[in-house]
Amino acid sequence: EVQLVESGGGLVQPGGSLRLSCSASGFTFSGHSMSWVRQAPGKGPEWVAYISSGSTTTFYADSVKGRFTISRDNVKRSLYLHMNSLRSDDSAVYFCARGLTIPTRYLDSWGQGTLVTVSS
């Protein structure tokens, strides 16, 4: 069974930093691209960042470019999102999601999400 478990969310002050982690099991992690998607309360999902299976390619939403960094460790079967210079509008539930094998930019398995709250 595919499992994605996020952790690392919490309350952080504006301007602060946080690192989210996603632990994967039940599939060949190194064979799939991964993404982070966030969802503010009452809103639709917003794609945040993408990383290819071998970490050679990354893409970011303009709203987080230069502040967030996506990375992965295929040996540890883990995905990360380093978030700096956090703002109140970054508050959301953050999901890690697996890309389909082919085509890769659809998200066929999701974690349960971790809540990030940016507030003073």
Partner 1 sequence: EIVLTQSPATLSLSPGERATLSCRASQTVSSYLAWYQQKPGQAPRLLIYDASKRATGIPARFSGSGSGTDFTLAISSLEPEDFAVYYCQQRIDWPLTFGPGTSVDL
Q: Based on the shown chain and the rule CB under 8 A, indicate whether residue 115 belongs to the binding site for partner 1.
A: no
CA 38, CA 114: separation in Å to the nearest integer?
Answer: 9
Query: 97 is written with which tokens?
Result: 């999601």
**Do 28 and 99 meet the contact criterion of CB atoms below 8 Å apart?**
no
**Residues in contact with partner 1, total (CB under 8 A)?**
23
Q: Based on the shown chain and the rule CB under 8 A, indicate whether residue 27 belongs to the binding site for partner 1.
A: no
- Binding-site member from 28, 85, 112, 117 for partner 1 (CB under 8 A): 112
- Binding-site member from 70, 86, 107, 116 for partner 1 (CB under 8 A): 107
Q: Based on the shown chain and the rule CB under 8 A, indicate whether residue 113 belongs to the binding site for partner 1.
A: yes
Nearest by Cα to 27 from 96, 101, 103: 101
Return the bridge partners of 22, or none.
6, 79
Nearest by Cα to 52 from 32, 69, 70: 32
| Nearest distance from C-beta of residue 11 to partner 1, angstroms | 20
For partner 1, the binding residues in 36-95 under the rule CB under 8 A are 37, 44-47, 50, 59-62, 95
Q: Based on the shown chain and the rule CB under 8 A, indicate whether residue 111 belongs to the binding site for partner 1.
A: yes
- HSE at residue 114, side-chain half, CA atoms within 13 A, is 19
- Residues in contact with partner 1 by the rule CB under 8 A: 35, 37, 44-47, 50, 59-62, 95, 97, 100, 103, 105-108, 110-113
